[in-house]
Structure 1
């Protein structure tokens, strides 16, 4: 992406070809008209100056003012350099640096008129007037008028070149500006897409941790109980296996939904709706069936009226709290409280007695971190830690979230 200072567009081979042909035609026309009575020395000077000016004109874009000044001064003594001089002057005009253009044009104009009498002392003889007897009359008014007319013609030509070059330069810069804006907009769009993808991946990672970690911890806990407990009855064994089967099934469903989101190119969120506060009761029931003692105090007025986004956050908070309790305090009773005021705030509190023993399931360390990010995005606060002989996780979320 070409973002930065304006640079003129590159010239194609075809563009260089027609420019060279036009400049050569102008140079040859001026040379033929001016070299009929030129001396051998002046022809040599003309050829040497042209040999300098023609290669130098291809450096006009790097140093437009310097190149135009050098070629313009040499063109005062070299008709073959007239084409490159007009070419370099036009290129300088496209930059729209008018102070430089005026200085260069003035210097070249002064050089041309200063060199004319030196080159041909009789340059104005053709406009002298004589009387009937052949006596030479004073001709300075006529000469002055001719000089003024020549100056006006040359200045008019310079003004025409400046106007044309300025218009071309303005058009080029406008096109460059529009192209630059389009490239910037495209780059910003790509950046927004990349950020959106990154945020979506983070969301998927949180959902994966919140859902799968909870299911896998249940599977690990019951599988560990089966491995270390002897003498289980057939009923107890069947119940444990059924819980493992249900948790595995739910984990597979959630994993399939996550993979579906990753494969979805249209930005869909999978085929199964995300859980909300209405699913908290089912979550608690499932954990009770898995052997966890859960004491819930849920205000139905709050849980039934929570917005979907806030309800999903409440569900994930409860899920993370139950997962941590089963991992770090297995067998301990867990208290779940959801309360607040409709339209103002909802408070979720999960607490359990402190236990020294814990599960052998490895802790990812990202549960509370992801939960803190989720709560922060919703404008809420999270507090976790020990209070007396209990561990408590408390989250306050504004209803407007």
Structure 2
């Protein structure tokens, strides 16, 4: 059990104990101090010399001894002023001596070194006066110096004990403050990591949603510009539109889930990580829109690819296919994915560049779909973060080429 001044303490200061609260431990210690002071005062009456003319009357000594002992109940609040008064009274009244030592101990525990030093010096002077005014054995001069020496040792022990208690409490407060700071910093780091992860997932979901909306636009455009298609093809296209719209709604819900703060008891969304084995499925989705895709995959150890590498390759291919459907609809696409653990992964996409003036019989059904907001610049950032590089532009043959190389971490 800690004192009230230490319970929940995070400031590292002990100079101003909490006046509003007092723990059970504080109450017990204060009562013990009052009791010890009363016992010491009673013993001092037994060893005093009542016949000495300088000895105060018993009534006054008892009254002051009891008052000084009771005053120790507020020893923390008025530590310095109380010690100063009690030390002054102890020079004339032996019954106040115990209370003055306890008050000095309190100053050593709860105050800085400077008041402790000069109050200790004042206590030593008071002991010189005390045993001169009320000698224990007037016939033995050596008894005076022996009493002063014993009293001085007791004062030094009390002050040393108090300063040791203060040092220990400062250590406890310092450790508690460091632990609290470390906990706060850890919570901050966790919060920042969660925010970065949520932003990453939101970007991933945004790209997925843009990809699916472009697919939806392509299929809807096919229905719009081919109203005479056979019933079988019409049914298949409608089914693809329905499935794509349904999946787009699920993706949108996941984006909203990621962007909002999770409630109590809820866990953050864990996004499914794509692997290199998912690349053919992504290509097949594009083929279903009527786009001609020539896909050449020559990858080694597909199942052993690191998650970041696989996810980056998947997103680059996904964004590249989305851009092709948006900016060069109907164009054939050549895709080649090569590599392995030794050489990394190389991805190349080539498609004809759309003409400057679209044909009147071939409108762009995907043209109304907005871009992802990052496009090729975002792909370059992805590749750079993965330790690779990305290039894009027109070839000498008038085609658009997207090329990326990514290392395969061991």
So what's the TM-score if we normalise by structure 2?
A: 0.71
Question: What's the CA shift for 1:280?
Answer: 1.0
The Cα offsets for residues 222-275 of structure 1, whole Å up to 9 and x where unpaired, read as 2244345554454553443243234235546767888999899677847xx633
Alpha carbons of 1:161 and 1:316: their partners in 2 closer, same or farther (altered >3 Å)?
same
Q: Is 1:85 paired with 2:130?
A: no
Residues of 1 paired with 2:136 and 2:26: CA distance? 43
Q: Would the alpha carbon gap of residues 2 and 165 (structure 1) be closer, same or farther in structure 2, given more than 3 Å must change?
A: closer
Residue of 55, 76, 80 corresponding to 2:91: 76
Deviation at 1:290, TM superposition (A): 0.9
Q: Tell me if the contact between 1:209 and 1:367 (Cα under 8 Å) persists in the aligned partners.
A: no
Cα 1:305/1:290, change in 2 over 3 Å: same
Superimposed CA distance per residue, residues 339-358 of structure 1 (whole angstroms, 9 cap, x where no aligned partner): 34642422223344256576
Q: Which structure carries more relative contact order (alpha carbon 8 Å, separation 6+)?
A: 2
Aligned residues: 377
Residue aligning to 2:35: 22
Quote the Cα distance in structure 1 between the aligned partners of 2:9 and 2:376. 44
Deviation at 1:88, TM superposition (A): 2.8
Judging by fraction of residues, say which structure has more helix: 1
| 1:212 CA displacement | 2.6
Measured after TM superposition, the shift of residue 86 of structure 1 is: 2.4
Q: How does 1:1-400 map to 2 (within 5 A)?
A: 2-7=9-14, 11-12=22-23, 15-16=26-27, 17-19=30-32, 21-22=34-35, 25=38, 28-29=41-42, 37-38=55-56, 57-60=75-78, 68-69=83-84, 71-77=86-92, 81-94=96-109, 101-114=116-129, 117=132, 120=133, 123=134, 127-128=138-139, 142-143=140-141, 145-227=142-224, 230-234=227-231, 236-248=233-245, 250-251=247-248, 269=270, 274-301=273-300, 306-340=305-339, 342-352=341-351, 353=353, 359-366=367-374, 371=379, 374-384=382-392, 390-400=399-409
- The answer to which of 31-40 and 75-84 deviates more is 31-40
Superposed CA offset, 1:183-235 (max 9, x none): 34543443344344324423431332232321122112322443455544545
Q: Is the 8 A contact 1:384 1:393 kept in 2?
A: yes
Where do 5+ consecutive residues of structure 2 fail to align?
1-7, 357-363
Q: Given that residues 131 and 144 in structure 2 are in contact (C-alpha distance below 8 angstroms), is that contact kept between their aligned partners in structure 1?
A: no
Q: After superposing the two structures, state which structure 1 stretch, 213-222 or 372-381, moved more.
A: 372-381
RMSD: 4.6
Query: Equivalents in 1 of 2:245, 2:104: separation in Å?
Result: 80
Q: Give unpaired runs (5+ residues) of structure 1.
A: 129-141
Deviation at 1:18, TM superposition (A): 1.0
